Structure 1
Amino acid sequence: MRKRKNRNTVDKDKIEKQIDFHEKAIDYYITDYSIELLVQKVKVGEITIPEYQRKNIWDIPRKSKFIESVLIGLPIPFLFFWQDHKTGNMDVIDGAQRLTTLREFIEGELTLKKLEKLTDLNGCKYTDLYESRRKIFKNRPIRGVILSNKTDKEARLDLFERLNTGSVIAEPAEIRRGLLQGPFYSLVEELAQDKTFNKLAGISIQKQQKAEREEFITRFFAYADGLEEYKNEVRKFTFDYTDKMNEILQNTPNLADKYKNDFKTIMDFFQQKYPIGFRKGGKGVASRTRFEGMAISVYITYKEHPKILDKITHQDCVDVFESEEFIQIAGSDGANTKSKLWARLHYARDKFKEKYVK
């Protein structure tokens, strides 16, 4: 009789190796800032809130409750910053909404509402407090954890995702926009405005605001350039790729034109050969997996056989992209495991090559 594996048996050495592999080398120090000083630093730009955190806005009752917590002396969670040693300025990693709320309250922009303890303050502003209470408020200390620029970008991203206390978590593309500005991401933002792409993908305004178009385009190039480094984690893969490509395009700016032309070539192909685009049946919004199975698969085909696009017909596209097999591949569970991703990216390529490459 086959022996069952004891579920209580664990490989401690294996666990230690995994912890060692993922352990972050983070250089930081802890300091206290008065609320008055923090607000002043935000106003003069010594503390900046990255773009990807600015849209995750607390509503007024939540802001009011936070101010109430400060007034009655409840502990305030640590703020996390990353400090650029060249300028001395700091980016907020976690605490953007707290800082914004403090600034709005002190500057008279916030009227308190729906307070449950300090009910007499409902409808009041900062100036409605006694001057002595305002001074006490401004002098309240808040502890900050300051990461040095020895802390790499990936660790900062990881910290933001794990520590963020906002009501809405930023999408990966929004975070890349904040942390990875550079020539490649500028190219991605430019291509996100491409009229043909927007017509084919039909991405909603709401998703556009969450940088969904930029997510599509980043994956378009990252996956087509090779999956050797992909390990079932899209966020890390696209983050590392964007960081690498920023540096490459910084050193070889002319390469951006090639990437731009490649993208437009593939969009023009679909406009001519399959104009209903990446949306199933030409309706609704394109899913990421369907876009990958269509646009990126054709791009991979084009990179391997540049002349093949002229041979592929509208009927070829119908036969491939409307087949039951493709629909299943483009909408399967576990979509981002490497095996499923590989199948999705190469399905159309294999079908087109089978017909036109001898």
Structure 2
Amino acid sequence: MRINELNSQLFAEKDAKSRAKILSEIEVIKSLAEDKIRNEQRVVEFETKEFTIELISHKYENGKEDDVNELFVPDYQRDFVWDKKRQSKLIESLLLGFPIPYVFTADVDSEDPELDGRIEIVDGSQRVRTIHAFTSNNLILQDLKTLDSLNGFTFSDLPLSRQRRFLRIPVRIIELSSKCTEETRRDLFERINSGSDILKDMEVRKGSELGSKPLYTQVIRKCSSNEDFKDLAPLSLSKEKRDERLEFTLRFFAYLDNYQNFEHSVRDFLNEYMQSHGEPDSNKQQEMISEFEKVIEFVKVNFPTGFKKTASAKSTPRVRFESLAVGVALALRANPKLEVDNLDWLTSDKFKTLTTSDGANSRSKVIERIEYVKDSLLGY
């Protein structure tokens, strides 16, 4: 029984003996909880530092092209996705002397002497890259409200005295020691960002321990880079940067494997799939990649608009992609030599309703839309 239930019982109980029994049970639960904390608690050694803007920019820039820069962004981090307005807002905050959040980094321990001692950015890569963009004159300030007279400025447009002062601004750094494992760094990244609406679900997965599993590194990432896939299922630049294509690929495999058991939370469904299927062996990896490629080839040959609604569409809806991709895969499993005789259903009111109506992510809708595509292709 949970402690809140026992507390409710205690509140309602008047008998002294019964209350004593409940209090005893509560103490046992508290003791077990404390033991759990002690057993799971990790000793994370860290130092609090201050780097100047100039030092941050230099450590990030020097050696960046050869991927040997001292201050670097690890592969589980997201792309540089802040727009110019948000970047400008950070620079304005720094110029005004406002405090900005800590940048979390980690001292990397490596057997390679060229890489040993580098500083991995665990959280704060958007801020670091914004600082570098500005000091490198690759950011033109815009939409500033307080310092509106600086709109249109680059770093070099500032008076030399202001440039010097800006480069001396300190930024607070928390640096995890080299004893901090990659697993802990990824866990920290996920915990910092999982409650934020800035990161999309796939970005959080990529940065968590799920992003280190073979399912992601050997299958999802490889399939998402398929050039035909990019042509057949176009996405806006912002969605590409926010790992929407990785999300599409993950959804394909998760629904294909277990769509009939989908409940109501897509996020939980996908996370559970990555957790339970994260370690496919090399044969299974190749099998998954091959099936994905066969689906892409089938759509390329047979569907005139690919996964899009129309030939001129610039983006692809998730629900439409899922139903078509998984439906095609299931149809090919039933008939590997499948030939298309009729595609009228692609523009039917029924298909439009299944892929655009309310409740598109209810269990019944997921099953219905996927099986509608499969049955239509098989002529049922």
Q: Offset at 1:117?
A: 6.4
Asked if 1:259 corresponds to 2:288, the answer is yes
Matched, 1:67 2:94: yes
Would you say the 8 A contact 1:290–1:330 is kept in 2? yes
Residue 310 of structure 1 aligns to a residue in which SS? coil
Within the alignment, does 1:79 sit opposite 2:103 as a pair?
yes
Which residue pairs with 1:33 in the alignment? Answer: 49
Corresponding residue for 1:292?
A: 322
Q: 1:322 to 1:189 in 2, by over 3 A?
A: same
Q: Counterparts of 2:43 and 2:261 in 1: how far apart (Å)? A: 27
Q: How many residue pairs are counted as aligned between the two chains?
A: 323
CA shift in 2, pair 1:76/1:287, >3 Å: closer
Structure 2: how far apart are the matches of 1:35 and 1:261? Answer: 48
1:68 partner amino acid: L
% identity of equivalent residues: 21
For 1:288 and 1:341, the matched residues in 2 are separated by 12
**Equivalences for residues 1-358 of structure 1 within 5 A:** 13=5, 28=44, 31-36=47-52, 42=60, 45-50=69-74, 51-59=77-85, 61-70=88-97, 74-81=98-105, 91-103=120-132, 116=146, 128-129=160-161, 137=168, 140=170, 142=172, 144=174, 146=176, 148-149=180-181, 151=184, 153=186, 156-163=189-196, 169-174=198-203, 176=205, 180=211, 184-204=216-236, 207-227=239-259, 232-239=264-271, 241-242=273-274, 247-248=279-280, 252-284=281-313, 285-303=315-333, 305=334, 308-311=335-338, 313-315=340-342, 317-319=343-345, 321-350=346-375, 355=380
**Equivalent position of 1:4 in the other structure:** none
* CA-atom RMSD in angstroms: 4.6
- 3-state SS of 2:337 partner: helix
Q: For the residues of structure 2 that align with 1:309 and 1:198, how far apart are their CA atoms? A: 24
Partner of 1:7: none
Q: Which runs of 5+ in 2 are unaligned?
A: 9-32, 63-68, 111-115
What is the CA-CA distance between 1:52 and the residue it aligns to?
A: 1.0
> Which moves more between the two structures, 101-110 or 45-54?
101-110
Distance 1:124 1:274 in 2: 50
- Verify the 8 A CA contact 1:68 1:118 in the aligned structure 2: no
CA distance in 1, matches of 2:318, 2:96: 42
Shift, 1:296, TM fit? 0.6
Unpaired stretches in structure 1, ≥5 consecutive residues? 1-10
C-alpha deviation, 1:224, in angstroms: 0.8
* Paired residue secondary structure (1:225): helix
Deviation at 1:288, TM superposition (A): 1.2
Mark the CA change 1:326 to 1:84 in structure 2 (over 3 Å): closer, same or farther: farther
